C-alpha cells in the first residue's frame, strides 16, 4: 500500500461477498458487482463492518455470506457512488481500487442486519433500478 493511502484511511479494511476464498488469495477487479449483474473495473471495500455486512448480505450467487479482512495492494480512492451521492464526507469509509485486495483473514462470526433491514434495502435497490437510478460510477 502506498504511503499516500495511509492519509486517506489506515483501515483495517473489509470486503463482503459470497465468494469462497482463502487467506493470501486476491480479490480482483473486473468481476461482477454485488449490486449489479455486470463486471466492474474497480474492486470495492470498506473500513466499516456495517458496510461490509451489506456487501455480504446483498451479494448475488450461492454460498454463505463472508466478510474478509483485506489489504489494498495499490492505490485506492473514495467510492464516488457513496461519497458524492449519498454520504458526503465518506462516513461509510467506502473505497475502490484498480488493484487487487489481498485477503489477510476471514471474520468467523458477525451479526447480520435484521431481515426487516435487509428487505428494506432490497426494496430500495429495486426502486432505484425501476427508476433507472442504479448507476455505478466507474
Q: Domains in the chain: how many in total?
A: 1
Secondary structure (DSSP) of 45-82: EES-HHHHHHHHHH--SSS--EEEEEEESS--EE-HHH
In a 10 Å sphere around its CB, with 0-12 CB exposed, 13-18 middle and 19+ buried, how is residue 110 labelled?
middle
CATH code: domain of residue 28 = 3.20.170.40
Q: 25 or 132: which carries more pLDDT confidence? A: 25
Q: Is residue 137 a part of any domain in this protein?
A: no
Q: Is residue 42 a part of any domain in this protein?
A: yes
Q: Is residue 138 a part of any domain in this protein?
A: no
The distance in angstroms from the start CA to the end CA of the chain is: 22
To the question of pTM greater than 0.75 for the whole model, the response is yes
Question: Which residue range forms the structural domain that includes residue 86?
Answer: 3-130
Q: Is residue 35 a part of any domain in this protein?
A: yes
Question: What cell does 88 get?
Answer: 458526503
Give pLDDT tens digits for 115-131. Answer: 999 999 889 888 877 88
% of the chain residues with pLDDT over 90: 49
Distance CA 78, CA 90 (A): 7
Amino acid at each position: 500500500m502506498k504511503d499516500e493511502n495511509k492519509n486517506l484511511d489506515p483501515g483495517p479494511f473489509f470486503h463482503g461477498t459470497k465468494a469462497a476464498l482463502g487467506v493470501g488469495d486476491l480479490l480482483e477487479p473486473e468481476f461482477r458487482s454485488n449490486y449489479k449483474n455486470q463486471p466492474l473495473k474497480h474492486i470495492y471495500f470498506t473500513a466499516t463492518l456495517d458496510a461490509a455486512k451489506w456487501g455480504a448480505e446483498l451479494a448475488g450467487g450461492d454460498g454463505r455470506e463472508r466478510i474478509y479482512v483485506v489489504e489494498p495492494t495499490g492505490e485506492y480512492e473514495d467510492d464516488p457512488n457513496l461519497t458524492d451521492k449519498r454520504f458526503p464526507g465518506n462516513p461509510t469509509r467506502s473505497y475502490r481500487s484498480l488493484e487487487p485486495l489481498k485477503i489477510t483473514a476471514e471474520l468467523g462470526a458477525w451479526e447480520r442486519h435484521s431481515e426487516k433491514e435487509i428487505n428494506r434495502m432490497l426494496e430500495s435497490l429495486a426502486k432505484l433500478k425501476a427508476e433507472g437510478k442504479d448507476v455505478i460510477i466507474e
